[in-house]
Amino acid sequence: MSRVYVVVFLLLAFLFSGCASTKYKWHNYDGVLYQHYKNPHDNEEFIEHLNEIIREGESSGKVPPGIYAEYGYAMYERGQYDEAIKYYQKEYDKWPESRTLMTKMIANAKNQNKIKSQKTATDNSTL
């Protein structure tokens, strides 16, 4: 009877060990995101961390969901709208469930880019 328990235990341990592995390498994303929320003005470390996740994810073909969008938003906050659009588009292409939101984010970034271009043109014409 004890052999049956051992076999059942080993079988269950084997089955549940598959649940412990993760499909994506997040590299302490949640901890870095928390620090970013606590101190949003010091975002260079956060951006570099996102960049690292993207680089490694692209090399393995497993970029975690939402990372492209998060990086795009970081670029948007910096006023780098073309770069934001590029990463929003990557999120759109990789994760179909994000397409509705990414379509809106892309449109918003394009609008901000247009406003920025108009302002630059106006500033240059007054000089």
In sequence order, which residues have a C-beta less than 8 Å from that of residue 56 and are 6 or more positions away? 25, 27
The pLDDT tens digits for 45-72 are 999 999 999 999 999 999 999 999 999 9
Judge whether 59 lies within some domain: yes
Judge whether 7 lies within some domain: no
Q: How many domains does the chain have?
A: 1
Give pTM, 2 decimals: 0.78
Number of Cβ within 10 Å of residue 127's Cβ equals 4
- Please report how the helices 99-125 and 67-77 are oriented relative to each other, as an axis angle in degrees rounded to 10: 20
The pLDDT tens digits for 76-126 are 999 999 999 999 999 999 999 999 999 999 999 999 999 998 888 888 877
Contact 66, 91 (CB under 8 A): yes
Judge whether 68 lies within some domain: yes
Judge whether 120 lies within some domain: yes
Judge whether 9 lies within some domain: no
Judge whether 79 lies within some domain: yes
Task: Provide φ and ψ at 66, rounded to 5°.
Answer: 90, -15
CATH number at residue 64: 1.25.40.10
